[in-house]
Structure 1
Amino acid sequence: MCAKTIDTKDITYDSLLQGNKDWVKDTIDSDPAFFDKLSAGQAPPVLWIGCSDSRVPANQITNTRPGDIFVHRNIANVVVHTDMNLLSVLDYSINVLKVKHVIVCGHYGCGGVKAALGDKQVGLIDNWLRNIRDVYRLHDQELSAIQDPDQKFDRLVELNAIEGAAKVMNTSIVQSAWANGQDLSVHAWVYSLKTGLIKDLEVTAKSLDDVSPAFKVS
């Protein structure tokens, strides 16, 4: 199924509505029962925690369809243990939808991470980006040893996703699921805007054994 696209400068309020109609027609032509199946309910196997960047749509870059991935997005795919929005999504996806995978996916060229690397005030978002600066602080020795600015930028993107995955597994939500024997894995990925490919950072947690003793809850 190949979607019709228009240049971004030509996107208008009306063109969005027309685009929806075109998409519905194309979808039904390809699969007449698509919306009947979609409206019957959802059972996605994956929760995707990603960046709000418009160039990183979870379904398109993983070649999946509506209903396959439950999604939470924010600036720079940050995981904060007091973010009730994210925690609500995490709780619902694990305890109701019974997802089998939680993926924290960052992307190279992330504007939020780049802003966190700088020393200029951006605005309200500075308070949010402090979470990324905390990641830098935790890995200061490694990052300070990288002289090339682009390589340092890319590495902080990776470390932000890795720390995000760690924070997910440290939640009482995930730990309770593991304690109850639920089949659940947590992963860290990074997507490349230049190649379209996803890099598996090879950070996967599958049980309470993967949780640091400092964060274990009973």
Structure 2
Amino acid sequence: MIRSYKKLFDNNKNWVLDRNTSDPEFFTSLAHGQSPEFLWIGCSDSRVPANEVTGTAPGDIFVTRNIANMVVHTDMSMLSVLDYSINVLGVKHVMVVGHYGCGGVKAAMGTKQVGLIDNWLRNIKDVYRLHEKELDAIDNDHDRFNRLVELNVREQVLNLTKTSIVQNAWANGQDLLVHGLIYDVHTGLLKDLDISIGDISKVKSVYKFDVDYSLQ
């Protein structure tokens, strides 16, 4: 057990050596700060590392992760990351990234109690309820599972647009796009769900906040 833990430090030293060999100024530049264009809201699944999947370097993507890449309006951690990335770092793209084979989505499709996480998974069950007619019409369990993964990403994108953080950014004239993506663990490829939203026009009126333009 200790051996596997210590292995992480050996790997770290090798990584530093490789970085310094290929770019002697890498860590000096990185220490000056970050200016990422992207916020990645992903699943905690260990098979979906944001930088490696996208071929980007440290400092390129701001990341927050939770079970099944959820945007829950009572999750202060996620909201704090969202606020900081938009209002301090000035990211231009917020991406909800789900993945096929998601254990959280799979568990939400069943009735077995898992534990504390059941309260979190109930949010995914709500997604199923919203799209119950479509999902129940899919006979193949695997295809229904994949479709719920996609629909869950779609609903989390919509949840982002319902936040005052995103709406105020748009009202203030910030260039900000919200995207939905799926990562296929079988192929390693990212799939754009073509549900990008860049302004308030696609937000239902009941979710729109009044904006005091006199404060701008």
Equivalent position SS for 2:196: strand
Local SS of the residue matching 1:76: coil
Alignment pair present for 1:149 and 2:159: no
| Aligned-residue offset at 1:214 | 1.6
Q: SS of the residue aligned with 1:181?
A: coil
Counterpart for residue 115 of structure 1: 107
Q: Which residue of 2 aligns with 1:22?
A: 14
Task: Write the distance in 2 (CA, Å) between the matches of 1:143 and 1:11.
Answer: 46
Determine the C-alpha separation between the residues in 1 that align with 2:147 and 2:120.
Answer: 19
List per-residue Cα deviations over 1:30-63 (Å, max 9, x = no partner).
Answer: 1110001100000000000000000000000000
- Gap runs ≥5 in structure 2: 211-216
1:165-198 deviations in Å (ceiling 9; x for gaps): 1101110000000000000000000000000001
Cα separation, 2, equivalents of 1:162 and 1:30:
40
CA distance in 2, matches of 1:116, 1:47: 26
Give the TM-score, by structure 2 length. Answer: 0.95
Instruction: Please state whether the residue corresponding to 1:61 is helix, strand or coil.
Output: helix
| Aligned residue number for residue 129 of structure 1 | 121
**What secondary structure is seen at the aligned counterpart in 1 of 2:96?**
strand
CA–CA distance in structure 2, aligned partners of residues 81 and 48 of structure 1: 17
Alignment match, 1:75: 67
Could you tell me which of 71, 77, 84 is aligned with 1:85? Answer: 77
1:214 matched residue in structure 2: 206
SS state at 1:89 partner = helix
The DSSP-based 3-state class of the residue aligned with 2:30 is helix
The alpha-carbon distance between structure 1 residues 11 and 142, as it changes in their structure 2 partners (threshold 3 A), is farther
Residues paired across the two proteins, number: 210
Matches within 5 A, 1:189-208: 189-208=181-200
**Letter in structure 1 aligned against 2:139:** Q
* Residues 1:183 and 2:175 aligned together: yes
Q: CA deviation at 1:10?
A: 11
Unaligned runs of 5+ in 1: 1-8
How far apart are 1:208 and its partner, in Å? Answer: 1.2
Name the amino acid aligned to 1:175: Q
Amino acid aligned to 1:108: Y
Encode CA deviations 1:62-115: one digit per residue, 9 max, x unaligned: 000100000000011011011111000000000000000000000000000000
Amino-acid identity (%) = 62
- In 1, distance between residues paired with 2:203 and 2:29? 38
After superposing on structure 2, the runs of 4+ consecutive aligned residues of structure 1 that deviate more than 4 Å are none
| RMSD across aligned positions (CA) | 1.2
Alignment of 1:6-17 (within 5 A): 12-17=4-9
Name the amino acid aligned to 1:156.
L
Q: What do residues 106-149 of structure 1 show as CA deviations (whole Å, max 9, x unaligned)?
A: 00000000000011111110110000000000001110111100
The alignment's TM-score, normalised by the length of structure 1, stands at 0.94
